[in-house]
Amino acid sequence: MSETICNEIKQTDFDKVMKRKRKNGEVIEKTTWKALIHYFNHQTHHRGQISEILDEMKIQNDYSNMIFIE
C-alpha cells in the first residue's frame, strides 16, 4: 500500500483534507500531508514492536537497519 500511495499521489493532493471516523464515532479531519506523515511514522512504531518481540524471543532480526533491505 505504501508504494501505491507514493506512486499515485499528486502534488495537488497534499493540501486536500482527509476525514476519518474513529471507532468512538469522532470524526478527524487532517490535511493529506499530515495524515501521510502519521501513516508512515506509525509503520515505524509497529516495526519497533516486532523487533522487540523478536529480540525477546531471541530471534535474530534487523528491523532497525531497514536501509540495508534490498
List, for residues 14-28, the tens digit of each pLDDT value: 999 999 999 999 999
Q: How confident is the model at residue 64 (pLDDT cuts 50, 70, 90)?
A: low
Residue range of the domain that includes 9: 2-68
* CA separation, residue 4 to residues 21, 36, 55 (Å): 23, 13, 31
- Amino acid 16 reads K
Indicate the pairing of strand 27-31 with strand 17-21: antiparallel
- Number of domains forming the structure of the chain: 1
The pLDDT of residue 62 is above 70: yes
The pLDDT of residue 33 is above 90: yes
Report the predicted TM-score, pTM, of the whole model to 2 decimal places.
0.61
> Are the C-beta atoms of 6 and 17 separated by less than 8 Å?
no
**Between residues 64 and 29, the one the model is more confident about:** 29
- Grid coordinates representing 2 are 505504501
